[in-house]
């Protein structure tokens, strides 16, 4: 059975040495025992693996949007979009579909356009959008459409890289977003389906909405061979993926409808909704296609819409679907998370989730048994002691960084962020009003300060992050410290005046600054906590006794991204790059899964 884009689904069971330590199933090696190390138990929480053979959705309760999955052997590989963040297109992997770990990024730099560089920083909300990952004849491919620049592909012999310089396959004048590729091993032909919006639309096509075209590609996956053929039109129709299963062609597709109880694709009503469609043809990849809705929002997740993802199969032959929750309610300050749903085949149609209302359409599940047992609880990386010479995969820069102004080697075991002067406030630098922020605070220096480094917030219940800074290298007119930001930013850090005096400060998303006490020591600890979308800052000089500073503030989703945690450093003087701040470590505890830790006996 051909079940994957690359036709390489090999159901090979994974084996691992498992021991029960302190009541928690985790991997441990003989070397760990010999070196007198003990396993700190894995952690569970309000989402993900529950440690009892079940999981709670979202399994990736963080800003991992627009997923696509390629299954090779017994391993599942996922890519997700991340707009202007650099490196772009995160890659994760899993052995059981539930526990995911970082692998890398497909685009080390957003090198194809100057607006993503540190000296421009005006690529906000663009960059890497929804893409497609494929494994074909021993090589990895990642495709994505930059809304402003076109269709690109990058390739690698190893999933961990290095990845090739992106190749431009189609200009943005011809395509809108969301490529989905398929390599047909039977015919030795390759295809990509693309949402072209209305860019090719003729008056004869009276169906409202986006057009989706299938283009033939070269067998090496790097060239477009024709002008494409229209296969489907629908309101907001996008995020298509192609599958060939037992000789039948299937195209999965997300489509906006408007939220009444109707299940007919394309019905307009007062409230936005987004559903998952499946197109089916027994004749040709070009159709004609039957269309059916197979997933819609249900009673879970505050009626958030659900769609867009990829199919997987387990060794027992069961089918599963990964999909995101959409941001059409007031919850997603954590971004667009990923959910795992069982798939039931009914009369040749894949019904995703559980049909809770008996209308033949699936709805998302909240808790379910795991597809595959026997693998330990893991999670994307969060904590960091900066002991490596390579930046951890959990971190991403706000636009491509100024590499001369950050280092992990100038002071081994520390991250050094050297301040850059803020970029000019004009149309060629930084975000436009309301292009990225939730308000008119886009004039703030923060949005035009190079080398802000951050990672995703996890979950929507509670979380606490803390970092240790050495502020001894700061110089006059420098600001540096801790940031939380998504659609708005909130900073707690240190400001140095023209005379070298250092003061604690808090700054809100409108760049309104509150000065605090004078700082005379070198060490500063900053802690931020949230209870749902309400967050606070605290500071300490010894890492034990913390004092609150600044107001309780609201973290927010904005322009397609959720809240993030990280570090900033800039110099307010337009003619200076002066001063640096060193980060010793970062720790993040949240209400969700964390991998077991191996530590020396004390």
- Classify burial at 490, counting beta carbons within 10 Å of its beta carbon; exposed 0-12, middle 13-18, buried 19 or more: buried
Would you say residue 381 lies in a domain? Answer: no
Would you say residue 7 lies in a domain? Answer: no
The verdict on 349 and 420 lying in the same domain is: no
**Average pLDDT, integer, range 315-323:** 98
Residues of 165-187 as b/e, b for ≥16 C-beta within 10 angstroms? ebeebbebebbbbbbbbbbbeee
Average of per-residue pLDDT values in the chain: 90
The verdict on 311 and 415 lying in the same domain is: no
pTM of the model: 0.92
Q: How confident is the model at residue 260 (pLDDT cuts 50, 70, 90)?
A: low
The CATH number that applies at residue 567 is: 2.60.120.200
Q: How confident is the model at residue 601 (pLDDT cuts 50, 70, 90)?
A: very low
Would you say residue 383 lies in a domain? Answer: no
Q: How confident is the model at residue 473 (pLDDT cuts 50, 70, 90)?
A: very high
pLDDT in tens, 9-23: 322 233 222 222 333
Tokens of 234: 């629908």
d(CA 211, CA 197): 5
Note down the domain range covering 165: 18-369
pLDDT value at residue 400: 98
Q: Per-residue pLDDT for 170 more than 60?
A: yes
Helix extents (H) in 278-374? none
d(CA 442, CA 509): 9
The verdict on 313 and 364 lying in the same domain is: yes
The verdict on 400 and 286 lying in the same domain is: no
The CATH number that applies at residue 258 is: 2.115.10.20
The verdict on 46 and 132 lying in the same domain is: yes
pLDDT value at residue 344: 98
Written as one string, the DSSP assignment of 246-273 is TTEEEEEEEEEEESSS--STT---SSEE
The verdict on 436 and 323 lying in the same domain is: no
Which among 75, 74, 144, 150 has a CA at the least distance from the CA of 105?
A: 144
Question: Residues of the chain with pLDDT > 70: what percent?
Answer: 89
Q: What is the 3-state secondary structure (H, E, C) of 475-516?
A: CCCEEEEEEEECCCEEEEEEEECCCCCEEEEEECCCCCEEEE
Tokens of 171: 């200009």
Residues in the chain: 602
The verdict on 135 and 214 lying in the same domain is: yes
Would you say residue 389 lies in a domain? Answer: no
Would you say residue 585 lies in a domain? Answer: yes
Please answer whether residues 76 and 95 qualify as being in contact, where contact means their C-beta atoms are separated by less than 8 angstroms: yes
d(CA 293, CA 273): 13
**Average pLDDT, integer, range 123-150:** 96
H or E element: which one contains 32? helix 30-34
Please answer whether residues 232 and 249 qualify as being in contact, where contact means their C-beta atoms are separated by less than 8 angstroms: no
Q: Per-residue pLDDT for 266 more than 70?
A: no
The verdict on 365 and 402 lying in the same domain is: no
The verdict on 486 and 359 lying in the same domain is: no
pLDDT value at residue 198: 96
**Average pLDDT, integer, range 173-187:** 97
Q: Residue 26 in 3-state DSSP?
A: strand
What's the start-to-end Cα distance of the chain, in Å?
54
pLDDT value at residue 261: 54
d(CA 95, CA 74): 6
Domain count, the chain: 2
Q: Per-residue pLDDT for 89 more than 90?
A: yes
The verdict on 345 and 229 lying in the same domain is: yes
d(CA 111, CA 128): 11
Range scoring the smallest mean pLDDT among 100-114, 201-215, 295-309: 295-309
Would you say residue 376 lies in a domain? Answer: no
d(CA 175, CA 58): 31
Domain boundary among 369, 385, 409: 369
pLDDT in tens, 494-534: 999 999 999 999 999 999 999 999 999 999 999 999 999 99
Q: Per-residue pLDDT for 465 more than 50?
A: yes
């Amino acid at each position: 059975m051909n079940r994957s884009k690359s036709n390489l689904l090999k159901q090979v069971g994974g084996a691992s040495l498992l021991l029960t330590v302190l009541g928690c199933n985790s991997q441990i090696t003989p070397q760990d025992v010999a070196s007198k190390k003990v396993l700190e138990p894995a952690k569970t929480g309000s989402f993900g693996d529950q440690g009892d053979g079940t999981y709670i959705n979202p399994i990736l309760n963080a800003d991992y949007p627009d997923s696509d999955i390629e299954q090779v052997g017994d391993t599942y590989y996922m890519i997700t979009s991340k707009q202007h963040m650099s490196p772009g297109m995160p890659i994760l992997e899993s052995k059981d579909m539930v526990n995911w770990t970082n692998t890398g990024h497909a685009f080390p730099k957003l090198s194809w356009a100057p607006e993503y560089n540190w000296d421009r920083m005006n690529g906000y909300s663009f960059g890497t959008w929804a893409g497609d990952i494929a494994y074909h004849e021993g090589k990895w491919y990642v495709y994505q459409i930059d809304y402003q620049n076109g269709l690109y592909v990058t390739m690698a012999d190893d999933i961990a890289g290095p990845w090739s310089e992106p190749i431009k396959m189609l200009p943005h004048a011809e395509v809108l977003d969301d490529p989905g590729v398929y390599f047909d091993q039977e015919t030795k032909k390759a295809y990509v389906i693309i949402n072209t919006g209305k860019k090719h639309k003729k008056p004869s096509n009276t169906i409202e909405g986006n057009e989706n075209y299938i283009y033939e590609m070269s067998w090496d996956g790097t060239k477009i061979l024709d002008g494409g053929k229209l296969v489907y039109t629908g309101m907001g129709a996008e995020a298509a993926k192609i599958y060939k299963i037992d000789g039948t062609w299937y195209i999965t597709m997300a489509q906006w409808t408007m939220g009444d109880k109707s299940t007919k694709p394309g019905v307009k009503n007062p409230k936005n909704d987004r559903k998952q469609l499946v197109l089916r043809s027994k004749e040709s990849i070009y159709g004609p296609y039957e269309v059916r809705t197979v997933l819609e929002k249900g009673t879970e997740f505050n009626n958030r819409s659900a769609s867009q993802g990829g199919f997987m199969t387990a060794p027992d032959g069961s089918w599963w679907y990964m999909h995101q929750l959409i941001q059409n309610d007031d919850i997603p300050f954590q971004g667009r998370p990923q959910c795992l749903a069982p798939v039931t085949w009914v009369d040749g149609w894949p019904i995703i989730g559980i049909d809770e209302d008996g209308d033949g359409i699936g709805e998302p599940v909240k808790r379910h048994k795991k597809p595959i047992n026997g693998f330990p609880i893991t999670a994307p990386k969060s904590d960091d002691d900066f002991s490596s010479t390579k930046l951890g995969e959990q971190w991403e820069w706000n636009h491509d960084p100024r590499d001369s102004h950050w280092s992990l080697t100038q002071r081994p075991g520390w991250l050094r962020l050297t301040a850059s002067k803020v970029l000019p406030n004009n149309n060629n630098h930084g975000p436009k009003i309301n292009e990225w922020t939730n308000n008119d605070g886009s004039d703030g220096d923060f949005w035009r300060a190079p080398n802000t480094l951050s990672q995703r917030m996890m979950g929507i219940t509670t979380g606490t992050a803390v970092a240790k800074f050495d502020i001894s290298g700061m110089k006059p007119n420098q600001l540096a410290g801790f940031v939380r930001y998504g659609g708005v930013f909130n900073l707690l850090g240190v400001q140095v005046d023209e005379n070298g005096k250092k003061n604690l400060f808090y700054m809100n998303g409108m760049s309104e600054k509150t000065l605090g006490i004078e700082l005379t020591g070198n060490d500063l600890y900053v802690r931020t906590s949230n209870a749902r979308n309400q967050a606070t800052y605290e500071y300490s000089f010894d890492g034990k006794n913390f004092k609150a500073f600044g107001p309780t503030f609201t973290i927010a989703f904005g322009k397609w991204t959720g809240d993030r945690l990280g570090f900033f450093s800039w110099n307010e003087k337009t003619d200076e790059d002066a001063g640096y701040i060193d980060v010793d470590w970062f720790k993040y505890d949240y209400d969700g899964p964390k991998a077991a830790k191996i530590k020396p006996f004390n």
